[in-house]
Structure 1
Amino acid sequence: MSEETAAPTGSAGASADVLPIVNQEGRMLERTPWFPSELDVGAECYRVIGCAGSPLSGKSTLLNELFGTHFSVSRVRATDRRRWSTRGISASLAANQETILVLEVDGGDGGASGQQLQERCLRYICSVSDVVLCNVWYHDLGRYDSDPQWCLRTMVRELSQAEGPLLRTCVVFVVRDADGDALDSTAAVTDALWLDAEEYWQQETGGSGSSSTSSSGAAATSSRSVETLRAALELRVVLLPTPRASSSAYDTAVQRLRHEMLDAGGLLSSEFSKGLPADGFAAFSRRLWEGIAAQPAGWSRGSVPLALHMASVDRGAFALASGGNGALPSEALVAAYHCDGAFSEILRNSAEELGELASQLEEGDKISGFGRRAEDLLNKYLSGFESATEAYAGQEVRERKRAELESVLDASLQSLFLKQLQLIRENALQHFKTASSSEEIPGDFAFYTADALFQREAEDSVRPGSDWSYANERSDLQQTMAEISARRKQLIHVQIQAAEQQRQAMQYMQLQQAQLQAIQQQQYGGTLGNWNVGVAYRPPDTNVNLSLLHQQGRTQVQVSMVPDEQAGLLGPNGFTSGVGPGNLGVSFNINI
Structure 2
Amino acid sequence: MWWLFFYLAKLNLLGFELFNSQSLSQGRAPDESCLRYNFKMLDAYKGRGQTTKGIWIARCNDIKPFTVAMDFEGTDSNARGEDNTAFERQSALFALAIADIILINMWYKDIGLEHAASRPLLKTVFQVMKRLFKPRKRTLLFVLRDHSKTPFEYLETALKEDIDRIWASVAEPETSRSVVLSDFFNAVHLRQRFICPRDLTGDKREAEPASGFFIRAEKIWKTIKDNKDLDLPALKVMVATVRCEEIAKEKLRRFTTDDDWLALKEAVQAGPVSRFGATLSSILESYLSQYDTEVMHYDQDVRNAKRRQMESQALEVVRNAYVTILEHLYSNTLESFKTSLEQSLNKGKGFAASARIFAQSCFLVFDQGCEEATH
Which of the five TM-score ranges fits, normalised by the shorter chain? 0.5 to 0.7
Q: Structure 2 counterpart of 1:90, which letter?
A: W
Q: Tell me the equivalent position of 1:225.
A: 179
Q: Tell me the equivalent position of 1:285.
A: 217
Q: Tell me the equivalent position of 2:160.
A: 191
Match of 1:259 among 179, 195, 204: 195
Over residues 116-150 of structure 1, what are the superposed CA-to-partner deviations in whole Å (9 max), with x where a residue is unaligned? 32332222211111111111112222233333222
Over residues 239-265 of structure 1, what are the superposed CA-to-partner deviations in whole Å (9 max), with x where a residue is unaligned? xxxxxxxxxxxxxx6xx55125x23xx
> In structure 2, the residue corresponding to 1:451 is in which secondary structure?
coil
Superposition deviation, residue 169 in structure 1: 0.5
Q: Please report the TM-score for the alignment, with normalisation by the length of structure 2.
A: 0.60
Superposition deviation, residue 285 in structure 1: 1.4
Q: How does 1:120-135 map to 2 (within 5 A)?
A: 120-135=90-105
Q: How does 1:24-423 map to 2 (within 5 A)?
A: 42=10, 44-60=11-27, 61-77=29-45, 80-81=47-48, 83-84=49-50, 87-94=53-60, 95-107=62-74, 108-110=76-78, 111-164=81-134, 166-201=135-170, 203-205=171-173, 224-226=178-180, 229-235=181-187, 256-259=192-195, 262-263=197-198, 266-270=199-203, 275-295=207-227, 318=228, 328-329=229-230, 331-332=231-232, 334-337=233-236, 339=237, 396-404=238-246, 406-407=248-249, 410=252, 414=255, 418-419=259-260, 422=263
Contact 2:212–2:239 (8 Å) recurs in 1: no
Runs of 5+ unmatched residues, structure 1: 1-19, 22-34, 208-220, 239-252, 296-317, 319-327, 340-395, 429-448, 471-592
Contact 2:106–2:145 (8 Å) recurs in 1: yes
Q: Structure 2 counterpart of 1:136, which letter?
A: M
> In structure 2, the residue corresponding to 1:136 is in which secondary structure?
strand
Contact 1:87–1:106 (8 Å) recurs in 2: yes
> In structure 2, the residue corresponding to 1:234 is in which secondary structure?
strand
Superposition deviation, residue 188 in structure 1: 0.9
> In structure 1, the residue corresponding to 2:141 is in which secondary structure?
strand
Q: Higher relative contact order by CA 8 Å / sep ≥ 6: 1 or 2?
A: 2
Q: Structure 2 counterpart of 1:230, which letter?
A: S
Superposition deviation, residue 69 in structure 1: 2.3
Higher Rg: 1
TM-aligned CA distance change 1:62 to 1:85, over 3 Å: closer
Residue 451 in 1 paired to residue 243 in 2?
no
Q: Structure 1 counterpart of 2:131, which letter?
A: Q
Aligned CA RMSD, in angstroms, stands at 4.3
> In structure 2, the residue corresponding to 1:158 is in which secondary structure?
helix
Distance 1:136 1:468 in 2: 61
Identity of aligned residues (%): 14
Distance 1:63 1:116 in 2: 30
TM-aligned CA distance change 1:421 to 1:399, over 3 Å: same
Report the structure, 1 or 2, having the larger helix content.
Answer: 2
Contact 1:130–1:169 (8 Å) recurs in 2: yes
Q: Tell me the equivalent position of 1:305.
A: none
Q: Please report the TM-score for the alignment, with normalisation by the length of structure 1.
A: 0.40
Superposition deviation, residue 275 in structure 1: 2.9
Distance 2:189 2:272 in 1: 72
Contact 2:256–2:317 (8 Å) recurs in 1: no
TM-aligned CA distance change 1:291 to 1:182, over 3 Å: farther
> In structure 1, the residue corresponding to 2:56 is in which secondary structure?
strand
Runs of 4+ in 1 over 6 A off after TM superposition: none
TM-aligned CA distance change 1:186 to 1:416, over 3 Å: farther
> In structure 1, the residue corresponding to 2:57 is in which secondary structure?
strand
Over residues 563-590 of structure 1, what are the superposed CA-to-partner deviations in whole Å (9 max), with x where a residue is unaligned? xxxxxxxxxxxxxxxxxxxxxxxxxxxx
Q: Structure 2 counterpart of 1:177, which letter?
A: D
Superposition deviation, residue 408 in structure 1: 5.9
Contact 1:46–1:100 (8 Å) recurs in 2: no
Superposition deviation, residue 232 in structure 1: 2.0
TM-aligned CA distance change 1:274 to 1:101, over 3 Å: farther
Superposition deviation, residue 450 in structure 1: 6.9
Distance 1:237 1:150 in 2: 24
Runs of 5+ unmatched residues, structure 2: 285-310, 320-375
Distance 1:115 1:102 in 2: 23
Superposition deviation, residue 225 in structure 1: 1.8
Superposition deviation, residue 197 in structure 1: 4.1
Contact 1:156–1:200 (8 Å) recurs in 2: no
Contact 2:92–2:128 (8 Å) recurs in 1: no
Q: Structure 1 counterpart of 2:216, which letter?
A: F
